[in-house]
């Protein structure tokens, strides 16, 4: 089972509720075991248990910080690439004015389709994203074939090079954005390790409270809630789902508005 895909596909409120319930269940299991051992006359020394619980919580905090940092950096890269992608589309569309009318009309028409599909990807369900990305790549090939046909046209070589550079930049940025958005996700192994460490830490906290009877009614729910909020935030930044944190579409909207103008 792909744990990463499962976590990032769940709605935020569902993931939040599952994580809270998961933490409380692990803690309750630990509390039950601690109380059971006390009833059997077995009581752990308080200092070693407290030290072990503190160490596990410290390790859990480190893992959360590491995962959050990884995801925040990737989210920042996605925003930067969205701006670069919009700029590349805009530049290619404007520079089409310098090439012969036949190629110019075909390329501009395909760029309009290209940006419309780019909008669709953001709002599409996960199972349709791959198909929409494939459509974008087909449009890129169409645009490149039209660009390659310029070698047979009687036009200034510097203008040809200038336009080819803009098409090449568009394709490179699109590949980068596809890789960062769809490939560089948090791996399942990291998610599994984080959840396992959470289960062990919550179990240890529950065991400590059950062993010493120092149970407070709000401690575990508040701790579980705080952890769940961080996990949901990480999952939202790692996912391109529509109900999570989203990269702004304003750069693409601005380019689409520009395309509606009568640019020669």
Residue 49 reports pLDDT greater than 80: no
The larger pLDDT score, comparing residue 148 to residue 240, is at: 148
Residue labelled with tokens 């990463």: 4
Q: Which tokens sit at 154?
A: 């009687």
First CA to last CA distance, the chain: 53
Residue 187 reports pLDDT greater than 80: yes
The larger pLDDT score, comparing residue 133 to residue 46, is at: 133
| Residue 240: per-residue pLDDT | 60
Q: In 48-162, at which residue ranges do the beta strands (DSSP E only) sit?
A: none
* Model confidence pLDDT, tens digit, residues 99-115: 999 899 999 999 999 99
Residue 246 reports pLDDT greater than 80: no
Confidence (pTM): 0.81
Give the C-alpha separation, 216 to 200, whole Å: 20
Please state the separation of Cα 125 from the chain's center in Å: 14
In a domain, residue 264? The reply is no
Q: Which tokens sit at 83?
A: 């701006």
Q: Domain range holding 246?
A: 3-259
Which pLDDT band, with edges at 50, 70 and 90, does 243 fall under? low
In a domain, residue 197? The reply is yes
Task: Please tell me the total count of domains within the chain.
Answer: 1
Which pLDDT band, with edges at 50, 70 and 90, does 215 fall under? low
Residue 242 reports pLDDT greater than 70: no
Give the C-alpha separation, 239 to 5, whole Å: 9
Residue labelled with tokens 């198909």: 131
Cβ-based neighbour number of residue 34 at 10 Å: 26
| Residue 21: per-residue pLDDT | 93
In a domain, residue 130? The reply is yes
Residue labelled with tokens 């999570």: 244
Q: What is the percent of the chain with per-residue pLDDT over 90, rounded to a whole number?
A: 29
In a domain, residue 123? The reply is yes
What single string gives the DSSP state of each residue in 155-185? S-HHHHHHHHHHHHHHHHHHHHHHHHHHTSP
The stretch 45-69 carries a mean pLDDT of 82
């Amino acid at each position: 089972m792909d744990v990463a895909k499962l976590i990032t596909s769940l709605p935020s409120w569902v993931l939040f509720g599952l994580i809270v319930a998961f933490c409380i269940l692990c803690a309750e299991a630990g509390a039950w075991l601690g109380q059971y051992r006390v009833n059997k006359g077995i009581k752990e020394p308080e200092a070693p248990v407290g030290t072990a619980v503190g160490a596990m919580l410290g390790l859990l905090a480190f893992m959360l910080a590491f995962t959050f940092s990884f995801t925040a950096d990737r989210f920042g890269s996605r925003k930067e690439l969205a701006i670069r992608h919009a700029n590349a589309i805009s530049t290619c569309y404007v520079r089409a004015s310098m090439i012969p009318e036949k190629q110019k009309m075909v390329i501009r028409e395909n760029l309009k389709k290209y940006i419309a599909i780019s909008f669709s990807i953001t709002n599409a369900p996960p199972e349709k994203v791959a198909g929409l990305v494939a459509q974008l790549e087909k449009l890129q090939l169409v645009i490149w074939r039209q660009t390659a046909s310029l070698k047979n046209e009687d036009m200034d070589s510097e203008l040809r090079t200038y336009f080819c550079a803009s098409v090449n930049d568009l394709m490179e940025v699109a590949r980068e954005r596809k890789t960062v958005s769809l490939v560089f996700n948090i791996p399942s192994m990291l998610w599994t390790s984080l959840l396992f460490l959470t289960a062990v830490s919550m179990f240890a906290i529950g065991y400590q409270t059950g062993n010493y009877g120092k149970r407070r009614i709000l401690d575990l729910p508040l701790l579980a809630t705080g952890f769940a909020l961080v996990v949901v935030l990480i999952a939202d930044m790692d996912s391109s789902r529509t109900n999570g944190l989203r990269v702004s579409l304003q750069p693409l909207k601005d380019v689409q508005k520009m395309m509606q103008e009568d640019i020669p």
